[in-house]
Amino acid sequence: MRMLDLFSGIGGFHKGFEQAGYEFEWVGYSEIDKYAAMVYQERFSDAKALGDITAIQPGRDLPSHIDILCGGFPCQAFSIAGKRRGFDIARILRHYKESGKPINYFVLENVKGLLSHDNGRTFSTIYKVLTDLGYTVECQLLNTKWVLPQNRERIYIVGHIGRGSRSKVFPIRESDSLLQKRRKTRQASRQYSTTITQNLMRGAHSGGETLIQVGNVDKKGHNSIWGRVYDTNGISSTLNSEGGGMGAKTGLYRIPEATKKGYAEAKVGDSINLSVPNSKPRRGRIGKGEAQTLDTGMQQYTIDKTAIRRLTPIECERLQGFPDDWTAYAGNHKISDTQRYKMCGNAVSVPVVELVATKIRSLHG
């Protein structure tokens, strides 16, 4: 098989297809982020670096035929597609169709908001562009939490060349036997975790950041826990306990939210999202036994015994389905935690890709 991996990031599509049993004789990848490209090349040394997608000339840079095209295209493509100018993925697909050797399948991933962007006109345009190229197009919102402890909804768009009555890849349901089999495999493997608590038990936390008090914002001057300011960009953690210092007796911590109750309770194994700490309408900060969607800024924390701390890069890798330290090094270059968080937040979830790839393989060979 030959695979073209566009907007490749740290190789989530490549890794997912490999875990689904695919073997590739050629893989080309396009990624403009310096560190993500370094990680990709480190993990897949035989892959061909293609640089910026806008500079790719299929007749010059790509082989005469490709079997699978993958891409987690960025939000910036919205405005381009919305103006009916197409996008680079379609440009490459069109080249192979016009050459008489169309790419058999494509798998694309994007944020949930693609469905509603510009009142649905953006997605409608993308769908039309792809079907006009002769593809049967399917799509579904899939959630990483079906297989890993991260609540991450993403839309997956699958296309296969030609019309007809082929079996469909979607819908994939939580009750599907294929998904159940994957979940059981994950739970039995030490490579992946099924809850954040298991991440902690497996020793993912080694030298990660904790919140250290550096001041107080209580206007009355009281050293109230609701007014304490902690480090990591001055986040106001606003933690409180149900009896005992820092939740020592009950293990419960109150996190203010814009709800009638005024707060939500977090305990060991839950995630706490402290992004936009001063937002008054913010709610849904607590993930019960799971992380919320990882992003590039990574302001998610968890309770470890009697302290709150930031999720570590290793935990973020696990929450996306990558092996430990997947993003830690590239050659002799040690990559900073800031870049590792960014790369994990931009990545596709490996087991979700694996699930889609396995379904394609089972239906179409």
Backbone angles phi, psi at 338, to 5 degrees: -60, -45
Q: Nearest 5°: phi and psi at 6? A: -100, 145
| DSSP-derived secondary structure for 298-329 | --EEEEETTEEEEPPHHHHHHHTTPPTTTTTE
Residue 58: how many other CB atoms lie within 10 Å: 18
Facing residues of 30 across strands?
A: 6
91 contacts 97 by C-beta, under 8 angstroms: no
Task: Choose among 107, 104, 89: nearest CA to 161.
Answer: 104
Residue 38 and residue 58 in contact, taking contact as beta carbons nearer than 8 Å = no
Cβ–Cβ < 8 Å for 158, 169: yes
Lookup result for tokens 């919305």: 82
Q: Going by C-beta distance under 8 Å and a sequence separation of 6 or more, which residues neighbour residue 100?
A: none
Tell me the C-alpha distance between 22 and 266, whole Å. 41
75 assigned to active site: yes
CA distances from 224 to 215, 218, 220, 302 (A): 11, 7, 9, 21
Residue 53 DSSP label: G
Q: Is 57 helix (H, G, I), strand (E, B) or coil?
A: coil
Buried b (16+ CB within 10 A) or exposed e, 61-78: ebeeebebbbbbbeeebb
Question: To the nearest 10°, the Cα dihedral for 201, 149, 265, 208?
Answer: 50
Catalytic pick among 70, 75, 316, 344: 75
Number of H helices, E strands in the chain: 11, 19
- State the catalytic residues: 75
